[in-house]
Amino acid sequence: MTRYLLADVGGTHTRIAEAAPGGAPGAPVRYLNAGLDGLESAFEDYIRAAGVPGGEPLVVAAAVAGPVRAGAVRLTNLGWAVDEAGLVRATGAVRARLVNDYHALARALPELPPPALVPVADRPPEPRTPMAVLGAGTGLGVAGLAPCNSGWTAIPGEGGHVTLAAADDEEADVLAALRREFGHVSAEAVLSGNGLVALHRALNGSGPDSPEAVTAAAGDGDTAAGRTLDLFFRFLGTVAGNLALTFGARGGVYLAGGILPALRRPLVASRFHERFIGKGRFRGYLDGVPVWLIEDPEGAALSGLRALLDDE
């Protein structure tokens, strides 16, 4: 029987789990990337420690934060160069598959059970219609999912680097300040961990130097940090609404990434949805689109990898 060995590679940790075709991934083992020589060494350590059965065909797959081209990727934040042929050599697998992490997340969307989701806009999805996912973390990941004759097709891309637009004068002033600092202001330049710090600086001139410090200050009632979070969610709503229109995502828009699960209460209470639906005469169209927050995006990526391997 074929076995799958799956990895979700983040900026700080790599999580590895086993799965059988059609089955849910098992409990993952977490590795600190700083202690690894590369992804191959993580797989090798897992196989030694877990005793993955020999004699069974093994397929390995990894979801990575970066564009995969011709079965290879260079992870800038880690300094790792990974390719499918190297993973086969390191693990003895019959096949290896590398995909962008949001490619895997997109394919996971139909697999997610209701308890894994927090409703942000609680609407019934239209069955067998496109879906979209975006997530704020180290960067801003974006992907879509479309129905096809064989099931589902994930559509990866680099939508986090679209130009960020203002919806009011305050946002226009902030983007003007950020343009003086960055030149081009992408969605990722604001809607990411480093972007939250840059947004706070543009609004207030100075302040906390980490996204954790900004969110902690907002939670403690700091007015300046609260204003930063409010603007962050407004920009997020604008980008998410644009994505829903682009994909025709009547099946739902899903929010992921390392930042948002810890901010679910302020997100749900924010002006996110006001911005999400604020598209003029398409307001009614977007008001019918459900929006959910994925509570465990890393676990979802592993489920998406398993589904992709099943599809293939």
Residue 125 in domain:
no
Q: Which H helix or E strand runs over 16?
A: strand 13-19
Q: How confident is the model at residue 133 (pLDDT cuts 50, 70, 90)?
A: very high
**Lowest-confidence region among 134-143, 228-237, 280-289:** 134-143
In a domain, 8, yes or no: yes
Element (DSSP H or E) covering residue 237:
helix 223-247
pLDDT band per the 50, 70, 90 thresholds, residue 195 = very high
Note whether residue 149 is domain-resident.
no
**Residue 41 placed within a domain:** yes
User: Is the pLDDT at 155 greater than 70, yes or no?
Assistant: yes
Residue 312: the pLDDT is: 87
**pTM of this structure:** 0.92
Report the pLDDT averaged over residues 281-289. 97
Question: Which of the four pLDDT bands, split at 50, 70 and 90, describes residue 298?
Answer: confident
What's the mean pLDDT in 61-75? 91
* SS3 label, residue 291: strand
Within a domain: residue 83?
yes
**So what's the pLDDT on residue 53?**
63
Percentage with pLDDT > 90 across the chain: 79
CA 161 to chain CA mean position, Å: 14
User: 1 falls in which pLDDT band (50, 70, 90)?
Assistant: confident
The pLDDT of residue 171: 96
User: Starting from the edge strand earliest in sequence, which strands make up the sheet with 13-19, in order?
Assistant: 29-32, 13-19, 3-9, 58-64, 95-100
Whether residue 20 is contained in a domain is answered as yes
pLDDT for the residue numbered 165: 95
**Overall average pLDDT of the 105-124 stretch:** 94
CA distances (Å), origin 160, targets 49, 54, 145, 312: 37, 41, 16, 27
Residue 82 in domain: yes
27 in any annotated domain: yes
> Where residue 12 sits, what CATH number does that domain have?
3.30.420.40
pLDDT at position 85 over 80: yes
Question: When comparing pLDDT for 158 and 282, which is higher?
Answer: 282
CB-based contacts of 100, cutoff 8 Å, min separation 6: 63, 64, 65, 66, 67, 68, 141, 143, 156
Query: Shortest CA distance to 6 belongs to which of 296, 301, 295?
Result: 301
**Percentage of the chain exceeding pLDDT 70:** 98
Q: Which residues contact 265 (CB under 8 A, 6 or more apart)?
A: none
Q: Are 87 and 93 in contact (CB under 8 A)?
A: yes
How many folded domains does the chain comprise?
1
**pLDDT over 80 at 206, yes or no:** no
Residue 98 dihedral angles phi and psi, to the nearest 5°:
-110, 130
pLDDT tens column, 232-275: 999 999 999 999 999 999 999 999 988 898 898 999 999 999 99
Can you tell me which residue has the tokens 């543009």? 202
Q: Which run of H or of E encompasses 11?
A: none
Confidence band (pLDDT; 50, 70, 90) for 54?
low
Q: Which of 40-54, 61-75, 123-137, 196-210 has the highest mean pLDDT?
A: 123-137
Range of the domain at 44: 3-106+305-311
